[in-house]
């Protein structure tokens, strides 16, 4: 039987919800002060947002980058750039943020959910292929927790069937797949600058593409489709104001300088934790594809099949006693189990766009999603932060070992 007493007192870890786990410092204060002093707070006139865009494009090796007001806005612009007809289908993942799904519905398209690989919580080329129909307009491939999905294979599948791929990199700044940064492999990459991401402006988003025509559409979609700089500008089509302000753009410029070091440190610390947990057979450490580099937005573990199904909840409870606030089962249920999908609550009583969907596209029976059910049942999301010390990582490893040891006898 395992020990039930932790060896060291509980400690407070840096958190991405406040200054302790953020890299907001003098550089950001100086940048935002300069923006304020200039009196120019809109990106249509200022210099910070355009600087952010050109520097982000250069960092990723993309031809174009655009800033916008959130990761949700980035996904919305990416979907709208592809101009789906009402009722077109967009294949995506059921383990994601609602900000990646609501834009599909706002654009009149139907999110069609592919199953995930329970080892990574990511969709695969095989699970996406199962959902392709003649109505598929696009695939959204999400790199969950910063762990790249098999994006080359998904893009190749899309190329064979003429379907463009949008990468959702909200959680995956500077993650790599086969020597390319994620976000630059599909047609459009989307990023989030929300409070808890690798770098932050509180709220914000970024888009990248190598495609000139899509770049033009993305620019317009952020700007109410007003043709700034054109000889005879007009509002060319339906679009919203999704601009990032110069206040956020200035902070983002300073944050961008720190991004490579942030990701490098998260990787180094995560590798150290993986080493420390190697012999703990009750849990499975992150499974990273060959040729991929995880960027560790979070450090996700999965309980081994030998553990009972509720073990993640019990481990999380014990970790909480140790000051480690983990998320057992992440979003708790597949996104399609939320009321918005179950009750089809969208625009008044119209049911639009669900009223245009094929029955199979909105068939949300859990039996069709064995990988998703298994993934959510066993995943434990451990908070991760570049401001952890090596002692913090030792502490997390010891706490996990203690928590697993405290409950594993019950699983036998």
Ligand X SMILES: Cc1ncc(COP(=O)(O)O)c(C=O)c1O
Does 205 contact ligand X by CB under 6 A? yes
Rank residues 71 and 328 by Cβ distance to ligand X and give the closer one: 71
Tokens 């066993």 map to which residue? 378
Residue 120: C-alpha distances to residues 182, 233, 379 (Å): 16, 47, 9
**Beta-strand (E) ranges in 280-333?**
283-284, 292-293, 298-303, 327-328
DSSP state of 332: S
Sheet containing strand 292-293, strands side by side: 180-181, 176-177, 292-293
Rounded to the nearest 5 percent, the helix, strand and coil shares of the chain are 40, 15, 45
- In angstroms, rounded to a whole number, what is the distance separating the alpha carbons of residues 200 and 386? 13
Rank residues 121 and 283 by Cβ distance to ligand X and give the closer one: 121
Exactly one of 57, 65, 81, 100 binds ligand X (CB under 6 A); that residue is 100
Does 334 contact ligand X by CB under 6 A? no
Exactly one of 96, 124, 295, 303 binds ligand X (CB under 6 A); that residue is 96
Please say whether the beta carbons of 389 and 12 come within 8 A: no
Exactly one of 142, 285, 372, 406 binds ligand X (CB under 6 A); that residue is 142
Bridging pattern class, strands 176-177 and 292-293: antiparallel
Query: For residues 238-277, which are near ligand X according to CB under 6 A?
Result: none
| Nearest-approach distance from CB 173 to ligand X, in angstroms | 12
- In angstroms, rounded to a whole number, what is the distance separating the alpha carbons of residues 337 and 330? 14
- In angstroms, rounded to a whole number, what is the distance separating the alpha carbons of residues 133 and 218? 26
Does 170 contact ligand X by CB under 6 A? yes
Rank residues 301 and 331 by Cβ distance to ligand X and give the closer one: 331
From the list 137, 197, 258, 298, the catalytic residue is 197
| Nearest-approach distance from CB 97 to ligand X, in angstroms | 3
Does 141 contact ligand X by CB under 6 A? no
| Nearest-approach distance from CB 206 to ligand X, in angstroms | 10
Does 136 contact ligand X by CB under 6 A? no
Exactly one of 24, 28, 68, 72 binds ligand X (CB under 6 A); that residue is 72
| Nearest-approach distance from CB 374 to ligand X, in angstroms | 20
Nearest to 32, CA basis, from 203, 198, 249: 249
Rank residues 73 and 403 by Cβ distance to ligand X and give the closer one: 73
Bridging pattern class, strands 165-168 and 188-192: parallel
Exactly one of 84, 99, 158, 328 binds ligand X (CB under 6 A); that residue is 99
Determine whether 333 is an active site residue.
no
Dihedrals phi, psi of 181, to nearest 5 degrees: -70, 135
Nearest to 381, CA basis, from 310, 305, 323, 298: 298
Give the interface segment with ligand X, choosing from 96-104, 127-135, 336-344, 386-394 (CB under 6 A). Answer: 96-104
User: Please, what is the angle between helix 246-276 and helix 48-60, to 10°?
Assistant: 30
How many residues bind ligand X, per CB under 6 A?
15
Does 97 contact ligand X by CB under 6 A? yes
Give the interface segment with ligand X, choosing from 48-56, 71-79, 108-116, 337-345 (CB under 6 A). Answer: 71-79
Binding footprint of ligand X on the chain (CB under 6 A): 70-72, 75, 96-97, 99-100, 142, 168, 170-171, 192, 194, 205
Task: Indicate which residues carry an active-site annotation.
Answer: 197
């Amino acid at each position: 039987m395992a020990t039930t007493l932790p060896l060291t007192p509980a400690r407070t870890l840096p958190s991405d919800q406040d200054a302790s786990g953020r890299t907001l410092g003098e550089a950001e204060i100086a940048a935002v002060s300069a923006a304020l002093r200039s009196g120019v707070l809109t990106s249509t006139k200022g210099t910070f947002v355009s600087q952010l865009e050109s520097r982000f494009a250069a960092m990723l090796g993309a031809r174009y980058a655009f800033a916008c007001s959130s990761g949700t806005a980035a996904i919305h612009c990416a979907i709208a750039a592809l101009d789906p007809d009402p009722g077109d289908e967009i294949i995506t993942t059921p383990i994601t943020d609602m900000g990646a799904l609501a834009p599909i519905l706002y654009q009149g398209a139907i999110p069609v959910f592919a199953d995930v690989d329970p080892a990574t919580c990511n969709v695969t080329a095989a699970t996406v292929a199962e959902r392709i129909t003649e109505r598929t307009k696009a695939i959204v491939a999400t790199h969950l927790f910063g762990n790249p999905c098999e994006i080359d294979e998904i893009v190749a599948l899309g190329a064979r069937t003429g379907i463009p791929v949008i990468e959702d990199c909200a959680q995956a700044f500077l993650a790599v797949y086969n020597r390319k940064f994620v976000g630059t492999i599909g047609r459009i990459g989307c990023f989030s600058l929300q409070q808890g991401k690798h770098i932050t402006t509180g709220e914000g988003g970024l888009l990248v593409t190598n495609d000139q025509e899509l770049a033009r559409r993305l620019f317009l979609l952020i700007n109410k489709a007003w043709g700034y700089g054109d000889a005879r500008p007009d509002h060319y089509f339906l679009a919203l104001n999704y601009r990032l302000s110069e206040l956020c753009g200035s902070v983002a410029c300073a944050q961008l300088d720190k991004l490579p070091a942030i990701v490098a440190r998260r990787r180094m610390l995560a590798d150290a934790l993986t080493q420390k947990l190697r012999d703990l057979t009750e849990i499975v450490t992150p499974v990273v594809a060959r040729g991929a580099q995880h960027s560790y937005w979070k450090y996700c573990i999965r309980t081994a099949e030998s553990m009972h199904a509720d073990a993640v909840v019990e481990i999380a409870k014990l970790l909480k006693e140790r000051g480690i606030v983990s998320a057992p089962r992440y979003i708790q249920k597949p996104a399609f189990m939320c009321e918005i999908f179950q009750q089809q609550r969208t625009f008044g009583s119209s049911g639009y766009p669900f009223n245009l969907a094929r029955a199979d596209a909105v068939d949300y029976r859990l039996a069709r999603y064995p990988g998703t059910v298994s993934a959510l049942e066993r995943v434990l999301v451990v908070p991760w932060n570049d401001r952890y010390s090596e002692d913090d990582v030792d502490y997390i490893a010891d706490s996990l070992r203690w928590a697993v040891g405290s409950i594993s006898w019950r699983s036998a």
